[in-house]
Structure 1
Amino acid sequence: MSAPENLPPAAEPAQPAVVPDPVPLAAVPGAPVPVAAVPEVPAQPGAARRLPRAVGVALATAGLLAVTAASAAVTVAVGKPDDKPAVVAAGAPGTASPTASAPASASASASASATPSAPATTEPPAPAPKPSSTVKGSVSNGRHEGDLRFFLLPIPEGGEAYGPLDGMTMTDEEVAEMFDNQDGIMRILRSYSYKESATRVYRTADGKAEVTVTLMRFGSTAEASEFAKNHTMNLDPIEITGDSAAHGYIRKPKQQAYTGSMTGISSQGDVQYKVDVDVKGTPDKALLSELMKRQRDWLTSGR
């Protein structure tokens, strides 16, 4: 290393000054270590408003138009979305001078040494409170009062709702779309003293099935029962156990890698209920029977 320039003159030849080499920054205790940039995790788009798939209806009663339509045959793979990587904020690195000078003495070096200390013990953060429903309803002698969403089958432990946790009330346009926009469908519904509909879609905890529950409230128990009996689909029929008033349908996929579906239809009091299940491969009708029974019990007691 060359001697610094512009030294003052001296009587004797100047001895070259020895300057210590700069200490590498990574060797200095507390110096920040370059960290590779962490790619930003894209914000997950909000869950799109989803509607029950179109179904066919055959309504036959005195003086009314008989309507039948084919159900949609859309194949969708149902699976559990990949877990998103957690982003952990790192602590601020320590600061250090860009250069370091030689220690003045051995004792100074010893006193400047950092003494490791035991990490402080902290309590784990309390879990976030579980969201609960904010809608209310009551049932008496088969008549359901209050918010119809209250009577939607509760999401099982570990399940994940698509859209609002409490479900959604449906407009007339959405109800008509559910019936494939058949001519006169709203007129037919009103002939049964139709009042309102509500729906909710959720994914099961194991990520293997997607469940859609749809409720339709009518003017009386007799009207809801009659409408449910005439609500049919152009699919293969299946038996539903545990719900004597129910009838069901199944669509098996052409390949096990595709999505199959099941639908159950029944009524309790002044409400018709319909449960749709989409699952990869051939559906197990035992799952549909269980969901239909649970929905019936919930409509019966409200709890």
Structure 2
Amino acid sequence: MTGLVALAAVTAGAVIAFGSSPGGADAAATPSATASRTGAGAPSGSASASSPAPSASPTAKKPAGQVAHGTHTGDLRYFLIPPPDGADVYGDPAGSADSAADVAAGSADGSQAARALSTYGFRNAASRTYLTADGGSEVSVELVRFRGPSQAAAYYSSSGYQATTLPLQGSYPARGYDLASGSAESSDTLLAISYQGDVHITISVTGGKAPSRALLQHLLDAQYQRLRTGR
């Protein structure tokens, strides 16, 4: 973990703002949710970069899930893309099962963020954070399941980070952001948001002064595909 700074510290100045919803709820949340909650289970999740990675129980039941016509059922952790070989996973290797309170915990205004999640029909969330095998990048993936595809689409459409935009490729809706830390002592973060069916996606890559755009795109493509097909 040497040289990396937890996402919560890196993105403290970046804000995700939710526009007015049909119910009239506005919210502002920092993207630090993923890093700050990974260990406890959140989306965003809640394990800090310094959290030890406990060994998995040999009798632990693997998460299971299914998808049909954009509706995802079962354990949402099943749909998290698997970490690469050699990755150092923070917390439960299967990922964290998260609540709305977990997701809102890393927000600049937790109460407003919680209201926004409720307005869009929050059901549950899952997240996983890991350090790549080479120790160069910290990756956080957060999935938030809503009442239906239209609610996930509305949540995506109404959100955006106050940061430099980052061009992304792909035939599906997605937006990218470069969350520069502005400090020589902390790492920069690249972040992407998207949605597939009833699930909203947030992926971040933190590390060094030049996080990999190619890695971010690869992870987003893989995560979208897993949500679309269940594989």
- Shorter-chain TM-score bucket reads 0.7 to 0.9
After TM superposition, give the deviation of residue 299 of structure 1 in Å: 0.5
Letter in 2 for 1:199: S
Contact 1:151 1:299 in 2 (8 A): yes
Determine the C-alpha separation between the residues in 2 that align with 1:213 and 1:70: 15
Contact 1:243 1:289 in 2 (8 A): no
Determine the C-alpha separation between the residues in 1 that align with 2:143 and 2:18: 18
Aligned to 1:190: 118
Aligned residues between the structures: 199
The structure with the larger Rg is 1
Greater length-normalized contact order (CA 8 Å, ≥ 6 residues apart): 2
Contact 1:58 1:66 in 2 (8 A): yes
Contact 2:101 2:114 in 1 (8 A): no
Letter in 2 for 1:293: D
The answer as to 2:14 corresponding to 1:60 is no
2:160 to 228, 232, 238: 232
After TM superposition, give the deviation of residue 289 of structure 1 in Å: 1.1
After TM superposition, give the deviation of residue 207 of structure 1 in Å: 1.0
Contact 1:236 1:250 in 2 (8 A): yes
Q: Per-residue CA shift, 1:94-113, capped at 9, x if unaligned?
A: xxxxxxxxxxxxxxxxxxxx
Unaligned runs of 5+ residues in structure 2 are 1-6, 33-48, 50-57
Q: What's the secondary structure of 2:144's corresponding residue?
A: strand
Structure 2 CA distance for partners of 1:230 and 1:69, relative to 1, 3 Å: same
Aligned to 1:200: 128
1:93-242 → structure 2 map (5 Å cutoff): 134-242=62-170
* 133-142 or 210-219, larger mean C-alpha shift: 133-142
Letter in 2 for 1:136: A
Aligned to 1:245: 173
Structure 2 CA distance for partners of 1:234 and 1:294, relative to 1, 3 Å: same
The structure richer in strand per residue is 2
Determine the C-alpha separation between the residues in 1 that align with 2:59 and 2:156: 33
Aligned to 1:8: none
Unaligned runs of 5+ residues in structure 1 are 1-49, 73-78, 80-129
Determine the C-alpha separation between the residues in 1 that align with 2:136 and 2:83: 15
1:256-295 → structure 2 map (5 Å cutoff): 258-295=186-223
Letter in 1 for 2:191: T
Structural RMSD (CA): 2.8
TM-score normalised to structure 2 length: 0.76
TM-score normalised to structure 1 length: 0.59
After TM superposition, give the deviation of residue 224 of structure 1 in Å: 0.4
Structure 2 CA distance for partners of 1:216 and 1:194, relative to 1, 3 Å: same
Contact 1:253 1:282 in 2 (8 A): no
Aligned to 1:37: none
After TM superposition, give the deviation of residue 69 of structure 1 in Å: 5.0
Contact 1:51 1:174 in 2 (8 A): no
Contact 1:260 1:279 in 2 (8 A): yes
Q: Per-residue CA shift, 1:10-47, capped at 9, x if unaligned?
A: xxxxxxxxxxxxxxxxxxxxxxxxxxxxxxxxxxxxxx
Q: Per-residue CA shift, 1:121-154, capped at 9, x if unaligned?
A: xxxxxxxxx9997111111111101001111111
Structure 2 CA distance for partners of 1:185 and 1:252, relative to 1, 3 Å: closer
Contact 2:141 2:202 in 1 (8 A): yes
Determine the C-alpha separation between the residues in 1 that align with 2:104 and 2:144: 12
After TM superposition, give the deviation of residue 65 of structure 1 in Å: 3.1
